[in-house]
Amino acid sequence: MGSVSELPGRDALKTRAVPSMILSNGDASSMTPAPASIIESDATIGAQKRFAVKGNAIVTGGAGTLGLHSCNALLEHGLRGLMIFDVNPDNSKTEIAQMQAKFSTATILTQKVDVTDEIAVQKAMEETVRLLGSIDTLVCFVGVVGCVETLEMPVSQWRKILDINTTGSFICAQAAARQMVRQKTQGSITFIASISAHRVNYPQPQVAYNVSKSALIMLKSCLAAEWALYGIRINSVSPGYMDTILNEGDGIAQHRRIWAERNPSGRMGSPSELTGAIVLLASTAGTYINGSDIVVDGGGIVF
C-alpha cells in the first residue's frame, strides 16, 4: 500500500488523467448479449436449464455451515468443479468427504487460504485453474463478527474485522475477476453481506461487523458497474440471523429471543433457506441480475 508521500501534490491534481468506466453496449459481439428467450417443450428440461449452474466455482469460507449448504446446492444444480477456500477446511473434513461421495462425477477440492493475504489468494486461484481449468463463479462466505461496546473496542479488532470481511472479499473478487477476463468468459461473483449492512443490530453492539458488511454492499455496486463490460456480474446476499453454531449457546439465549420477537416470521433462518438466492445468482436464471442485493431474513428488515 502506498504511503501518503506517494500521493500527488495539489499542483499535480490539475494535470491528472482520471480513468473512465466503459460500459457494455449489449450487442451480440459483447460480453453481455441477451440470451435466446425460449420456452422448452419439455417442462422438466425447461426447469433444469433455468437454474443450471455451469463450470467451476470457488466458495470462500465454504467449510462453514452456510458455505457447505450452498456448495451442496450449487452441485445439485450442475456445478462441475468446486474449490473450497477456508482457513481450516479440516474442520469439516467429514462433511466434505460426504459431499465428494454424493457428487462423484464432480471435482471437489479444498485449499487452506487466508483471504487477507493477496499473494496466498493469487497462488490459490492459480492452483484452482490448474486443477479445474477455469473459474466461473465466486461466492464469498468468509467473515468474522465481534460484539463489544464501541468505547471499549480495540482498534486492532476493528481493523481485523474489516480486513477479513471487506478487504478479504475484495482481494478474492479481484483475483477471480482477473482470471475471468483472461478466460474471456462470463462470470458471477456473490458477496455474503448481511442485514447488518442495512440497519443497526439490536441488542448486541457490533459496529465493526456492521460497517464491514455495509461496505460490501457498495463494493458490490461499484464492481458491478466496472466489470459488466467483461460479462462479470457482481451481486450480494444479505442473510438475517441464521441458526448456526455461531448463534448457539446459553450466553446468547436472551438475544435469540429478542431477534425472534422482532422478526415477522418469529424465528431465525435455516441454512437451507439461503441456498435459493445463491443458486439463482450463479445460474442461467440470473444473467440479468447485476448489482443487486437479495435480503433473506424472514422479513426482519421491514422494522
Containing 50, the helix (H) or strand (E) segment is helix 43-50
d(CA 294, CA 303): 17
Active-site pick, 169, 196, 209, 212: 209
Instruction: Classify residue 276 as left (phi > 0), alpha (psi -120 to 50) or beta.
Output: alpha
209 is catalytic: yes
d(CA 86, CA 106): 19
CB-based contacts of 107: which residues, under 8 Å, 6+ apart?
56, 80, 81, 82, 131, 132
Active-site pick, 213, 230, 238, 241: 213
d(CA 96, CA 300): 32
Task: Give Cα separations from 12 to 1, 217, 243, 290 (angstroms).
Answer: 20, 32, 53, 36
Active-site pick, 70, 92, 169, 194: 194
CA-based nearest residue to 137, from 283, 4, 256: 283
CB-based contacts of 60: which residues, under 8 Å, 6+ apart?
67, 85, 86, 113, 115, 138, 139, 140, 141, 142, 168, 169, 172
213 is catalytic: yes
CB 287 within 8 Å of CB 232: no
Task: Give Cα separations from 270 to 18, 69, 138, 179, 194 (angstroms).
Answer: 46, 10, 22, 34, 15
End-to-end Cα distance, the chain: 41
CB-based contacts of 50: which residues, under 8 Å, 6+ apart?
283, 284, 285
* Active centre residues (catalytic): 194, 209, 213
